[in-house]
Structure 1
Amino acid sequence: MPETLSVAGAVELARVERGGFVESRHAGAALVLDPDGQVIERLGDVDAPILPRSSLKPVQALACMAAGAPLAGQSLALATASHSGTDRHVAVVRDILDSAGVDERSLQCPPAWPADTTTRDTLVRAAGEPERLRMNCSGKHAAMLAACVAQGWERETYLDPEHPLQVQIRELVERLTGERVQAIVVDGCGAPVFAVSLSGLAKAAHRIGGSSERSPFALHRNAAALVAAVREHPWAIDGPGRPDTIAVETTGVFAKGGAEGVMIMVAPDGTTVALKMLDGSGRAAGVVALRLLERAGALSAADVTRAREALPLRVRGGGRDVGAISPAF
């Protein structure tokens, strides 16, 4: 059975400190590529397979664009997002569906409460219920449906790994990572997720993040448009006060976290980080990626400090700050 890196293949990436006592440690693996795509730092076993989870969404969105899904600006950012389910997010997802002439009942992601606390509280007070549109992957699913409409593909089975769209996504994953998919399993939203190495994921992120809108190749033009859309609409990729949005707003990176402690991050100069926390916790993934980019000279210490101050990294005790989550280096 395929499996991710072992405990022996992991290194310490972050620490949780409470009142001067190191309470917990997060171990994992990380890879840093320079603007030319060359390895400049390797931490742990980066060749073991991982499940990229939502960090794969940029590739999935590009496959949908290649299939003809009309995505641009906010809708492209939402197709790439793990959004927090605010009304603003939902409105853009509806726009994607409306442009394709598809009803929201066609979405096959599970119903969910919004992750945004204010929005959830409002829905609860109004006796609302979990909705597919509020699910954090609804933008991706809407884009998949739009691609199916553009190609005339069957919509009812769009999550089947053998559906033409999912085959196209798998082929693009292999093209951008430079390796064969090692396993196909079901993601939390019901879509297929493809196992690749952390090294392969870093290569894919670097190729996407370093693409030019002036490229003669449509894939690279679409990738550049995707990155620009996220940087222009950082609220869309995650949500107000949430880690990916904070990282994009404060440092200008392209950031896309995934479940189980996965993160890809590309600095404006193309320096790229991909990492996986072995314990599956994502709470330190963003700050570790930012620190690695700073250490590579791709981000200023001032920008990273500003991001760290905004990220939810404080450890609380007795109603006050008593420690923090921080990189282990």
Structure 2
Amino acid sequence: MTQTETQAARVVFTRGDVDESVHAVHLVVVGGDGTTFASCGDPELVTFPRSSSKPVQALPLALAAPELPSDELAISCASHSGTPEHLTVVLRLLERSGSTVDDLRCGTHPPFDAAVAAELIRRGEAPTPLHHNCSGKHAGMLLSCALNGWPKEGYTEHGHPLQLRIRELHAELGGVNLEQVEAGTDGCSVPAFALPLSAAARIFVGLARPAGEYVQALERIFAAMTVHPVLVAGPGRLDTTLMPLVPGLVTKMGAEAFYGMGLRHSPHGPLGMAFKIMDGGERARAHVALAVLEALGIPLTPELRALAPATLHNWAGREVGGVRVELPLAFS
């Protein structure tokens, strides 16, 4: 272990009295001043927030379009489910930059919403890039280019002015040097930026309690995501269900079991949290999120506990096992 590293958290799935599966978790909580408040595992783990970066990727849009409707700003931060409600907002955002679905470079996958995906199959229709969960982000990027005088062509490339600016913003908001922000390519073809877990947590506390140069734009992003949680994800998904249950909480999931949370109000003041489940086991995400909120003094209502059941049932409804979270938080 490094000097800052402690024992990692674990989410353990049991069957009967036997531990069947274990997910290791690195987690860090920072306070309003950006310093580490609590952690378990390695708070300086360098990892990809993936879609948890979307509020940062939307910041150039928020800065360039201060009058943009909040639902369009929310969809630019979204990993949406491809419902008609989502698609309507994405199309409106595309229209603002004179773009069409053909200009989206995110690729295509079936809608995350099972009912919408089934309806496409029933009608014999193939999904389009509009159904991709990142289409709102890409539509927002196209508008950012149009408003900033950058070419829309090549907007997904690492050397494009928009992507260079987004990398700079990750460093600024994360409180790290630009050299500490490493680049890969995301599933939707835009750059994915890796940075220390503590830097990601600072991004989220800055989203929950904005300050400094970008305060107004970040406040609008926070408001858009918390007022329109159904646009950020979709019915039945964690971001959409969790945010309305905890006042002042903004959350954003990332692929491969990353999660970022910004808490505006807690017994300890504003807090930012980021965690990475090392095996990418996304089924453990809600369990970790609720465990850390409870550890930080947020009471878990029955509605919250229902998001991460402690017992496991089979298809016949029989109880067959359980889930426990081991969260050895070390407070600074």
Structure 2 letter corresponding to 1:30: L
TM-superposed deviation, 1:251: 1.9
Q: Which residue of 1 aligns with 2:280?
A: 280
Structure 1 residue runs of 5 or longer lacking an equivalent are none
1:231 aligns with 2:226: yes
Q: Deviation per CA, 1:185-206, whole angstroms, max 9, x where unpaired?
A: 1001101011100011111111
Quote the Cα distance in structure 2 between the aligned partners of 1:82 and 1:193: 15
TM-superposed deviation, 1:267: 2.0
Quote the Cα distance in structure 2 between the aligned partners of 1:108 and 1:77: 20
C-alpha contact 1:10 1:27 (8 A) present in aligned 2 = no
TM-superposed deviation, 1:240: 0.3
TM-superposed deviation, 1:245: 0.9
C-alpha contact 1:111 1:131 (8 A) present in aligned 2 = yes
Q: Which residue of 2 aligns with 1:222?
A: 217
The structure-2 alpha-carbon separation of the partners of 1:27 and 1:250, relative to structure 1 and needing over 3 Å to count, comes to same
Quote the Cα distance in structure 2 between the aligned partners of 1:247 and 1:53: 19
Quote the Cα distance in structure 2 between the aligned partners of 1:93 and 1:324: 40
Q: Which residue of 2 aligns with 1:74?
A: 71
Deviation larger for 310-319 or 48-57: 310-319
C-alpha contact 1:255 1:264 (8 A) present in aligned 2 = yes
The structure-2 alpha-carbon separation of the partners of 1:257 and 1:314, relative to structure 1 and needing over 3 Å to count, comes to farther
Quote the Cα distance in structure 1 between the aligned partners of 2:187 and 2:274: 21
Quote the Cα distance in structure 2 between the aligned partners of 1:183 and 1:145: 23
TM-superposed deviation, 1:70: 5.7
Q: Deviation per CA, 1:78-108, whole angstroms, max 9, x where unpaired?
A: 1111111111101100010012221111000
Q: Secondary structure at the match of 1:195?
A: strand
Structure 2 letter corresponding to 1:234: P
Q: Which residue of 2 aligns with 1:87?
A: 84
91, 98, 101: which one pairs with 2:98? 101
C-alpha contact 1:69 1:143 (8 A) present in aligned 2 = no
42, 45, 50: which one pairs with 1:53? 50
Structure 2 residue runs of 5 or longer lacking an equivalent are 328-332
TM-superposed deviation, 1:10: 6.5
Could you tell me the TM-score, scaled by structure 1's length? 0.90
Q: Secondary structure at the match of 2:43?
A: coil
Quote the Cα distance in structure 2 between the aligned partners of 1:295 and 1:165: 39
Quote the Cα distance in structure 1 between the aligned partners of 2:79 and 2:198: 23
100, 104, 107: which one pairs with 1:110? 107
Structure 2 letter corresponding to 1:264: G
Structure 2 letter corresponding to 1:167: L
C-alpha contact 1:234 1:248 (8 A) present in aligned 2 = yes
TM-superposed deviation, 1:41: 1.2
Quote the Cα distance in structure 1 between the aligned partners of 2:12 and 2:230: 28
Q: Deviation per CA, 1:239-292, whole angstroms, max 9, x where unpaired?
A: 000111111122232110101110001223122210001101222223312221
Q: Deviation per CA, 1:15-71, whole angstroms, max 9, x where unpaired?
A: 112334321111020001234444221111121210110010010011232244863
1:165 aligns with 2:162: yes
Question: What is the percent sequence identity of the aligned residues?
Answer: 34
Q: Secondary structure at the match of 1:199?
A: helix
C-alpha contact 2:203 2:272 (8 A) present in aligned 1 = no
Deviation larger for 194-203 or 33-42: 33-42
C-alpha contact 2:9 2:27 (8 A) present in aligned 1 = no
Quote the Cα distance in structure 1 between the aligned partners of 2:134 and 2:67: 18
Q: Which residue of 1 aligns with 2:321?
A: 323
TM-superposed deviation, 1:317: 1.8
234, 238, 246: which one pairs with 2:241? 246
C-alpha contact 1:12 1:25 (8 A) present in aligned 2 = no
TM-superposed deviation, 1:313: 7.2
C-alpha contact 1:17 1:325 (8 A) present in aligned 2 = yes
1:204 aligns with 2:199: no
Deviation larger for 148-157 or 85-94: 148-157
C-alpha contact 2:205 2:263 (8 A) present in aligned 1 = no
Structure 2 letter corresponding to 1:97: L
Could you tell me the TM-score, scaled by structure 2's length? 0.89
Quote the Cα distance in structure 2 between the aligned partners of 1:69 and 1:112: 32
Deviation larger for 317-326 or 288-297: 317-326
How many residue pairs end up in the alignment? 316
Q: Which residue of 2 aligns with 1:187?
A: 186
TM-superposed deviation, 1:316: 3.4
The structure-2 alpha-carbon separation of the partners of 1:159 and 1:10, relative to structure 1 and needing over 3 Å to count, comes to farther
The structure-2 alpha-carbon separation of the partners of 1:84 and 1:250, relative to structure 1 and needing over 3 Å to count, comes to same
Quote the Cα distance in structure 2 between the aligned partners of 1:172 and 1:328: 34
Quote the Cα distance in structure 1 between the aligned partners of 2:155 and 2:124: 32
Q: Secondary structure at the match of 1:31?
A: strand
Structure 2 letter corresponding to 1:200: A
